[in-house]
A and B are shown apart, each in its own frame.
Chain A
Amino acid sequence: MGIESFRRVPFILIKIIIPENMSCEKTMRYLIQCGHKQFLPYLKVLCTNRYCTEVKPETKSNPTLWRKPWAHKEGEWFSMFRLFAPEKGGSLEVIRILQNNINFSPQAIQKWIKKTKREASILDMKYIPERHDILGSNLAAAHFLVHRGAAIRFVGSTEWIKRQGDEYDLPNKYNPDYLVEAIDILDMKLYYEGFQNMTNLSSLQWLSLQNCVEVDDWFLDKISCEYQSSLEYLDIGNCVQVSHRGISALYRMSKLRTLKVHNIANSQMFQLACLMLEDIHPQLNIEGVTYLDSENQSV
């Protein structure tokens, strides 16, 4: 083997950024881990995964270890093999997957399909900060909704922007003149997680969530927080998961004029909540509730 054979070996460029202030052992370990990540992306399942809600790496605080493991103490010796030892042990996810008996019965498969579809749609609705950075809140919300089947109307215009096949007509760059005034959900299945894409809509006056079965009390909580100072019309007809507790949460919305609650379970508590809501906001008019006679109502 001479210099010629060395030159013939293909040269693989590895791009690794080593942060400063790392001890020698940590640097070595970091290099090995980077190597893992670069060359074995399809074995991601074997890396230690945090099984929990999304925590951004910057905000995740490292718990201070007040006791050093034995090998890190002064005077303790360890061999080079320690560099390849995993710091935290095997991943629990792997063990769990290996130990689970996969249920192949038709009901279980149906359940699994339903669950996966639901998770996929929720993931689809995740908040993407880049969209808001590039387009601004109003246009970002507009793109998000129209792409998935809802209809939008902007301030100053009377036509509804809907999706025709796969195309719709919305500007691609930030334009401060476009302010969302009205949203009609139509056929789209809106999940709570998708609501974060609709923040900061300061001119939203008209909102219709009719026929959206996922709407429940948490939704109303979020709506009353986000649009408390601008919303004038809210339609939650056929949203059967809403209860009287959600209705009473709408007390924060000071500008609400019309509230439509058709076909939601008309229990006495619900009617009472509607009455009390109308009490606080005199300009509010609730449609879709049939009140009993005043003698039958319990105060």
Chain B
Amino acid sequence: MFISTMFKAVNTFKCRKFIKVKFVNLYKNACFCTNKSEVSSSYEPPKPENPFKRTFRILGNDMKTAKNKVQSFITKVQGVREVTNKVPKSPYRDGVFPEHCDIAIIGGGAMGSSIAYWLKQRAPNAITVTVIEKDPSVNQNIVSWGQYVDASTVLSVGGLRQQFSLEENIRMSLFGAEFLRNIKQHLSVEGHDPPDVQFTPFGYLCLASEEGAQQLEENANLQKKLGAKNELLTPVKLKQKFPWINTDGIALGCHGLENEGWFDPWSLLYAFKTKALSLGVEYVDGEAVGFEFKKMPDMLTEGVEPGSYEAVEKVLVKTESGELRSIKFGFVIIAAGPHSARVAKMARIGTGEGMLSIPLPVEPRKRYVFCINCKNGPGLNTPLTIDPSGAYFRREGLAGNYICGRSPLPEEEPSVDNLDVDYDFFDKNVWPILAKRVPAFESVKVKSAWSGYYEYNTYDENGIVGPHPYYTNLYIATGFSGHVIYVSMLQEFNIHRLLVEASWK
């Protein structure tokens, strides 16, 4: 009997040691490696927190918040109004950094926020969504300019049009128009004012010279077929309707009649974000700097050598305070706009082998927007006019201000290092064309200008939406180069595919 107890004692000791070793190895078994050199400096993944310490820390926090609640209740009952906040309010939803989530969205602009909104709309309690956004975002209820300084959404001109040549684009913008119209039903949050995007219904007037007239007519017919309303105008009619125009060199014009116009993109983004927050989405202020991978040797996928598959498991986030944390996700969606290619490189898209050797063909391109003032300019009947050369302008407000710009030619692409504005560009490239098209613009004054990044898809200038062929849990939604405003509303198709095909199989 003595021997058996001795045996038991030895056994339990071994068991304990075994359990301890295994336990410690449990959170170290993920074989991780971060991407070094090319894009960002190599980051060491953060050491996982000791689970006992974590438990006690969270319990301690819970005690403190409970104590605070009781204290505030007592002071309320006593009628004493005190504004003491002993525990600093954590920016995170549960008071701790979200280390796990079902779906991580990298990029919190119009795309990312709308993806988060649609995901939570479909399955409010089934999934946890975390959005990682590197621009300092608004965590209070106060609307303030100056946030999202670098983000492309708020710097865009905010136009809605149906005049595209691709069927999918036309459908997307029709859906977007309907969504905007019903935005009060979709994105209202209790306790806040209903969102108001200040939609100004105005058409788009696409002008075409001889070469482009045929294409313009075909596009117009396609749009009519899908339900968009527009009219084709000859130069004579153009002059009748818009007396300020100079129709030299114009063979045809297409005037959009319905569901076109412009709106305030900032309020749309804000509406998406507040609604997403109210539905339970967690926003993390930080920059995604790498991914952690997990070897899955028993995964068999077509096009991949058996035994060599590595899945993305965690994303490394550098928070505002400089800390490096990691978030483990079930799915990740890259919606980082112009920086998507950089994020994709962190996931080895472009630097790997086989399917991973093709990089994401999205580049940031800088575009300028100028605000000019002209005393005798075209009056109320100024749609957003697009010249065949690519220059455009539209009315802003009612006081003679106009917003104009132009896509630079490939050889004139400005560098994307910073967001400085080149006023020479206006003098050389934009103003001569505008002055020719609208004689009243001979005398204009540039009031202000800004620049923003386009997420330019170098492959075919259209969007990229869908799962990546190699990774089963990585989705991409980017590359819409300027159309992102209303495409963001269409993310529900992306989400439908994501949820129905992938997670529910």
Contacts and interface: CB of A to CB of B under 8 A. Distances in A.
Contact of B379 (A50, A245, A280, A299): A280
A67 interface: yes
A220 B201 contact: yes
A226 to B, nearest CB: 8
B295 interface: no
A201 B481 CA distance: 39
B493 A52 contact: yes
Nearest to A52: B492
Given A99-B124, A244-B398, A273 B199 contact: no
Interface string A241-256: 0011110110110100
A225 interface: yes
B200 A248 contact: yes
Given A99-B123, A251-B381, 11 more contacts: A50-B496, A52-B493, A67-B469, A92-B123, A99-B126, A248-B380, A269-B398, A276-B379, A279-B379, A280-B380, A299-B399
A157 interface: no
A63 B500 CA distance: 14
Interface string B290-319: 000000000000100000000000000000
A57 B503 CA distance: 25
A52 B496 contact: yes
Interface stretch (B22-30, B91-99, B255-263, B439-447): B255-263
User: What does DSSP make chain A's interface, helix, strand, loop or mixed?
Assistant: helix
A280 B381 contact: yes
A299 B377 CA distance: 13
Nearest to B395: A248
Contact of B500 (A92, A218, A298): A92
Contacts of B175: 53
B380 A51 contact: no
Interface string A38-64: 000000000010111100000000010
Given A273-B380, A276-B379, A89 B500 contact: yes
A298 B241 CA distance: 27
Contact of B122 (A92, A220, A298): A92
B192 interface: no
Contact of A53 (B178, B258, B259): B178
Contacts of B123: 92, 95-96, 99
A35 interface: no
B181 interface: yes
Contact of A218 (B199, B399, B400): B199
Contacts of B302: 67
B339 interface: no
Interface in A66-103: 67, 88-90, 92, 95-96, 99-100
How many chain A residues sit at the interface, stated as a range, is 35 or more
Given A89-B505, A276-B398, A251 B380 contact: yes
How big is chain B's contact interface, by range? 35 or more
A246 B125 contact: no
B398 A248 contact: yes
- 6 tightest A-B CB contacts, nearest first: A89-B504, A221-B201, A225-B257, A225-B258, A251-B381, A245-B200
Given A246-B201, A249-B202, A277 B399 contact: no
Interface in A182-233: 192, 217-218, 220-222, 224-225, 228
B188 to A, nearest CB: 11
A93 to B, nearest CB: 9
28 contacts: A50-B496, A51-B122, A88-B501, A89-B500, A89-B501, A89-B504, A92-B123, A92-B500, A96-B122, A96-B123, A96-B124, A99-B124, A217-B199, A217-B201, A220-B201, A225-B229, A228-B257, A244-B398, A245-B198, A245-B201, A246-B201, A249-B201, A249-B202, A252-B203, A272-B398, A273-B380, A280-B380, A280-B381
A192 B184 CA distance: 14
B499 interface: yes
Contacts of A228: 257
B488 to A, nearest CB: 15
Contacts of A224: 201, 257
Contacts of A277: 380
A249 B259 CA distance: 11
Nearest to A69: B505
Nearest to A271: B398
Contact of A252 (B199, B257, B400): B257
Most buried by A among B181, B241, B499: B181
Nearest to A67: B302
B373 to A, nearest CB: 11
Contacts of A254: 241
A276 B380 CA distance: 6
B504 A245 contact: no
A83 B201 CA distance: 51
Contacts of A48: 500
B480 to A, nearest CB: 18
Nearest to B179: A53
Interface string B27-59: 000000000000000000000000000000000
B500 A221 contact: no
A192 B122 contact: no
A249 B200 CA distance: 8
Interface in B113-135: 122-126
B280 to A, nearest CB: 12
Contacts of A279: 379-380
Interface string B393-404: 000001110000
Contacts of A90: 504
A264 to B, nearest CB: 16
Interface in B474-505: 492-493, 496-497, 499-501, 504-505
A251 to B, nearest CB: 4
Nearest to A221: B201
B380 A88 contact: no
B379 to A, nearest CB: 6
Contacts of A217: 199-201
**Most chain-A Cβ atoms within 10 A of its Cβ — which of B200, B241, B261, B492?**
B200
Contacts of B493: 52
B486 to A, nearest CB: 14
Nearest to A220: B201
